[in-house]
Amino acid sequence: MPAKKEIRAQLERFGANVRRERYARGLTQQQFAESVDLNIRTVQKIEAGDINILLTTLLRIQRALRCRWSKLVGGEDT
């Protein structure tokens, strides 16, 4: 089982990836939140790596950003 530190690092990397892809599409946090049917505060927490989301939420994010899974869950070099 991964250590809390490793999980935190993965959540932060995912959040950074979401933020990067959102910026690349010219979306504000509010626009993005509306497109994935989330509260803006939830989007802020995701991008900060503060929360662990459901797989269904991940799917909505991937569809809204229209990017490959590896762009969201991979490292910066993907």
Mean pLDDT of 71-78: 71
pLDDT in tens, 31-64: 999 999 999 999 999 999 999 999 999 999 999 9
Q: pLDDT class for 78, splitting at 50, 70, 90?
A: very low
Could you tell me the pTM of the whole model? 0.89
Find how far residue 70's CA is from the centre of its chain.
12
The full set of domain ranges for the chain reads 4-72
User: Mind listing the pLDDT tens digit for each residue in 11-35?
Assistant: 999 999 999 999 999 999 999 999 9
**How far apart are alpha carbons 37 and 30 in whole angstroms?**
10
pLDDT band, residue 2 (cuts 50/70/90) = confident
Domain 4-72: CATH class, spelled out = mainly alpha
DSSP secondary-structure letter at 43? H
